[in-house]
């Protein structure tokens, strides 16, 4: 049985990332601010917390991020079924999701690490998947997901990082901006209806940096970007610390989550329930075709321009 390991990578400016091969997850992000280190991510020193209470915290989510209606989809006239874990719904791929698997370390250096996961008896498909974390010289954390399967399947991967830019217990002093004019409409079960709603004039309009009511947000935003291009998706600012976080992605959607109250999530991904939604960008990857997506979280401090998209 593979052992669970914690690994640290960093750049020479002090940005440090602690990772675990249990779920190929982020455990800690420490950012240098003056003579102190600020913890920017939800962190627990005991592994048991990630195995029981905070199973998604910082984890690699896949092969299907978000919610899947009735825990199934149709592929080539065959119904692909999963074990539901939220009523009749599949959330974040359920108990056999990547977040609860022990990954191999394929390659490691001072500033990056590559995790590898291969198909085993628990998997429904024959695949290999890789997650790379890199700490960049401009205080960024680059995450890259790659996957290749022997058969057609739907893939939607993300990282479920929980961030707080103040190092404290609430989001009241945070401001947010998201480059989106639409969101995915949800029904009473928090599943997509298939419609996209305009955000203008609503609580979902984040085209300017602003404060929030944390009780509201667990929604997928339709990003204003060219398909597949690595572009700015969102910005968060801690108004007390002056720490700014920019989020870039190649993916079409951003799941913005704040209902925890203490932390926020910028989950770059395709839209939830995409395998069952013909009008959404497709998550279907053909056999041996390969899948590759990227996300970049970049941190800076007050003194630079605060215009989030300027």
* pLDDT per position as a tens digit, 166-206: 987 789 999 999 999 999 999 999 999 999 999 999 999 99
Q: Answer yes or no: is pLDDT of 123 > 60.
A: no
Rounded Cα distance, 97 and 151, in Å = 18
Confidence of residue 30 (pLDDT cuts 50, 70, 90): very high
| Domain range 14-301, CATH architecture | Distorted Sandwich (2.70)
Contact at 8 Å (CB) between 218 and 204? no
What percentage of the chain has pLDDT greater than the value 90? Answer: 89
Average pLDDT of the residues in 151-155: 93
243 half-sphere exposure, CB direction, 13 A CA radius: 26
Closest CA to 14 of 138, 180, 162: 138
Domain ranges (residues) in the chain: 14-301
Average pLDDT of the residues in 9-27: 97
- Ranges of H-type helices in the chain: 47-52
pLDDT-wise least confident of 63-67, 134-138, 146-150, 194-198: 146-150
Angle at 173 (CA atoms; ends 258, 52), nearest 5 degrees: 35
Taking only Cα atoms into account, the Rg of the chain, rounded to an integer number of angstroms, comes to 19
Long-range contacts of 144-147 (CB under 8 A, 24+ apart): 144/292, 144/293, 144/294, 145/60, 145/62, 145/291, 145/292, 145/293, 145/294, 146/290, 146/291, 146/292, 147/62, 147/63, 147/285, 147/290, 147/291, 147/292
Closest CA to 125 of 133, 136, 117: 117
Read off the tokens for 177: 């901006």
pLDDT tens string 38-61: 999 999 999 999 999 999 999 999
Contact at 8 Å (CB) between 66 and 59? no
Closest CA to 266 of 219, 228, 229: 219
């Amino acid at each position: 049985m593979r052992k669970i390991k914690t690994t640290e990578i960093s750049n020479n400016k002090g940005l440090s990332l602690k990772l675990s091969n249990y779920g190929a997850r982020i455990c800690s992000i420490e950012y240098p601010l003056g003579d102190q280190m600020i913890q920017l991510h939800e962190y627990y020193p005991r592994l048991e917390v990630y195995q029981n209470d905070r199973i998604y915290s910082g984890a690699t989510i896949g092969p299907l991020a978000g919610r899947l209606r009735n825990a199934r989809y149709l592929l080539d006239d065959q119904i692909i079924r999963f074990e539901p874990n939220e009523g009749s719904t599949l959330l974040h791929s359920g108990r056999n999701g990547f977040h609860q698997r022990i990954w191999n370390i394929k390659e490691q250096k001072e500033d990056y690490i590559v995790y590898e996961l291969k198909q085993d008896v628990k998997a429904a498909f024959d695949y290999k998947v890789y997650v790379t974390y890199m700490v960049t010289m401009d205080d960024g954390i680059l995450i890259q997901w790659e996957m290749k399967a022997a058969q057609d399947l739907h893939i939607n991967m993300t990282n479920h990082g929980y961030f707080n830019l103040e190092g404290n217990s609430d989001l009241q002093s945070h401001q947010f901006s998201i480059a989106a004019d639409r969101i995915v409409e949800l029904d009473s079960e928090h599943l997509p209806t298939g419609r996209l709603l305009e955000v203008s004039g609503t609580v979902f309009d984040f085209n300017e940096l602003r404060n929030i009511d944390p009780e509201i947000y667990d929604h997928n935003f339709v990003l204003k970007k060219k398909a597949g291009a690595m572009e700015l998706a969102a910005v968060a600012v801690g108004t007390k610390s002056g720490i700014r976080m920019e989020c870039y992605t190649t993916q079409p959607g951003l799941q913005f989550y704040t209902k925890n109250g203490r932390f926020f999530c910028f989950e770059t991904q395709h839209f939830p329930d995409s395998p069952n939604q013909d009008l959404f960008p497709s998550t279907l990857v053909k056999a041996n075709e390969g899948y590759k997506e990227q996300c970049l979280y970049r941190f800076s401090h007050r003194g630079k321009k605060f215009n989030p998209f300027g």
